[in-house]
Structures are given as structure tokens and as C-alpha cells.
Structure 1
């Protein structure tokens, strides 16, 4: 079997796919905040790929070719993240096939991704679920990004999170959800942006091995 580019042993990139509904609010914010945080931790500006990590997004009912919502752009500006050049995408099989890690806004999105097949179950989590699991993983058990590379570290992180999933349950169903701000005022968008940024912080730290403030 041919391994799709961007996934599998021997490839030199690790693809992170963020999924929401329309791909105009939550997943664009999460994608661009992830890129911004990776660039910051690794000593560069916001980038598409850092250390072999490629960050993308799509929507289960994605508005193909649409710009992100203006309030989502404003949230990214608050964090100093780059919103330019974004266009919405509908989630396709090829996106799931190529992704090494799929992070969704809600449990429903997670279920939709997994229902597409492609052995996605062990690499698909809600963002907040993945954050909760990552917090429980001892970083000393992960490959050293300087010696083994960030891609190998990221793969090991996903495997460790998947192994913990059945043991470390959410305190409530809602705890693993990021609510949809579509149509809401900027104040609500900002609260969702803060929520996403807080959830991403331990994930980016675990991926890079570089703590906040470095």
C-alpha cells in the first residue's frame, strides 16, 4: 500500500488538520493561532510549516473558497496572528487521509471525521479532548525534538494521547466542546478565541518541547 504524502513512517512532515462546520470561524482561528504559536516557539514569524509540522483546516459543511468571518480576523489580530490569504475548504476524504492529527471543534465533528473511515479514529480528537490528554503525558517519555525531530515527537504524542483516551474521561460532555460563534458579536468571538488559545498552549508546548515564554 502506498502511504499518502504527509502521513506514515518515513515521511518528513506531520499534518495537523483543524475541523469545524463552515471553516469560516473556529477552525480558521485555530489553524492560524496554531501556526502563530509554532512560529513564535521556534523563533520565527507565523508560518505554514514549522519543524515539519503543517497546519491546515476544513469544514464539514465548509464554505469552499469563502473568506473567514470578519470577527474571526479581528480575533486573530488581537493575538498578532496572520489572517491573510485564507480561503474556506469543504472537508474531503483526501484531507483526512493525509492528516496525522485531526483536531475538531466538537464531538459531532469528531464523529463525522471518524465516520469517513481511513483509520481516522486513533488520530482524531476534539481540540479540548486532546489538550486534556496531552496534559497527562509526561514530556520526558516523548522523543527529543532536537535529536529525533519534531515529526517523530508529534507522532509519539498522538499515540500516547490515543492510549489514554479510554482512561482519562472528560468531567462533562460539554468540556470537550468549542461552541460556534457564527453570527455572534465580537465579544463572544473573543471569548471563543481565548478558549481556543488556552487549549492550544499545552498542545504546542508538547509538540515543540518549548515552553511558553521561550
Structure 2
């Protein structure tokens, strides 16, 4: 495996026109700011409306948070799309089950997006409480604290994220929801605008948690390492 290859993240919902596109475009926009070239985020649907653009209200949500909804086209989830993915983020527990029906090898790399966000919050709180732990620095590929060049920075980032599922699973018991439905993002398709706002209210905090974790654990850029 090319250790400097981008970390591949796949978001999954049903039609791939409301929820997973919002997660895709906002995660990509945010992660590009943290580690440029370090991530490739895409999406698919378990029963996709293939070729359809993002729903207009979903597109408005993406723009509101600084993402770009243009050029999107829904696609059907297939085993081929799942091949080589580092992390799968589903919008509901049901979608997680459908992913695993297609590729059971992804069991330890597939989470609902809200589930993973809670796990990352636990990991970040632990790191903040641990004495002597520097923030916003990940080990470089060579074992140092500052990545000396772009390739080493990308490799350090990839190593951190490809090891993330195991670390997250280790705190699962500390991040269980009071209600299992709190793992899910509501489906707003063909429903009132208020349901899209409910979707936004559920999805946005999860995206913020993932981006915060990425920022706190990002390897230093070559320029920053000189400061």
C-alpha cells in the first residue's frame, strides 16, 4: 500500500441525494483545510437515484457551511466502490448493515457517522486530559514529531487514520447513546424543509467532531515545522 495515498472515506445513505452528499462535501472541504491532499471523500446510496444531483435544500446546507455541491451525481453502492475504502460512515445503523452485507471485511471500519463522532470526542477528551501530550501533532513516518516533507506528512496522516477504527472501538463502551436511534440521521427525502433542518442539526455536530479530531491530530506541515 502507498502510505502517502489519501485516506479514503465513503459516506452512505439510501438515495445518495440528501444526507450522504452533505457529509461527503463538507468533510472533504474541511479535511482539505487540515491536510491538503490527505483525504478523498466520496459517497454512495444503498438504493441510489443514480445520476441525480443533490437535493436543493441539501445543496443549500452544503453552501451554508462552506462546501461546494456542484457537479454531484448519485451512484449506487457496490462491492467495487467499497474496495480499498479506509473508513465507511453511514447515516443509519441500517445502512451499516447493508454495507456489511456487501463486504463483511469492513466490519471494523464501518460506523454510523454519529457513532464515530462520539467516539472521537471521547478520544480527544482523553488526549486533552493526558499530561504532557502535545496537541495538533502526529508522529511522522520516520518516528519524529514533525513531518519533514509533504510525503512524510501524508504518510503520518494515513497511518493515524488507518489505525483510527481500532482506537475508536476501544472507547465504544464510553460513547453509547441513551437511545439507539441517536446513531441515525433522519431521512428528509420528499419531506418538509423542517426535516432537512433536523437532518442538518443531527449531521453538522458529527461533522464538526470529525474535523476537530483531524485538526487536533494533524501532522505539522513542512512550513509549520520550521517555526
TM range (shorter): 0.7 to 0.9
Q: Deviations over 1:25-68 (max 9, x none)?
A: 000011111112223445xxxxxxx3421100000001111111
**Alpha-carbon separation, structure 1, partners of 2:32 and 2:6:** 16
**Alpha-carbon separation, structure 1, partners of 2:23 and 2:188:** 13
How far does residue 75 in structure 1 lie from its aligned partner after superposition? 1.4
Q: What is the aligned residue count? A: 197
Q: Counting helix residues as a fraction of each chain, which structure ranks higher?
A: 2
How far does residue 78 in structure 1 lie from its aligned partner after superposition? 1.8
**Alpha-carbon separation, structure 2, partners of 1:101 and 1:94:** 15
**Helix, strand or coil at the partner of 1:102:** strand
Residue 114 of structure 1, aligned match among 94, 100, 116: 100
* Structure 1 partner of 2:8: 15
**Alpha-carbon separation, structure 2, partners of 1:98 and 1:199:** 24
**Alpha-carbon separation, structure 2, partners of 1:86 and 1:179:** 21
TM-score w.r.t. structure 2 length? 0.78
Relative distance call for 1:104 and 1:122 in structure 2 (3 A) is same
Contact 1:96 1:118 in 2 (8 A): no
> Does 1:28 pair with 2:21?
yes
TM-score w.r.t. structure 1 length? 0.82
Contact 1:135 1:202 in 2 (8 A): yes
Q: Aligned-residue CA RMSD in angstroms?
A: 2.3
**Alpha-carbon separation, structure 1, partners of 2:192 and 2:33:** 29
**Alpha-carbon separation, structure 2, partners of 1:168 and 1:80:** 29
Residue 39 of structure 2, aligned match among 53, 60, 66: 53
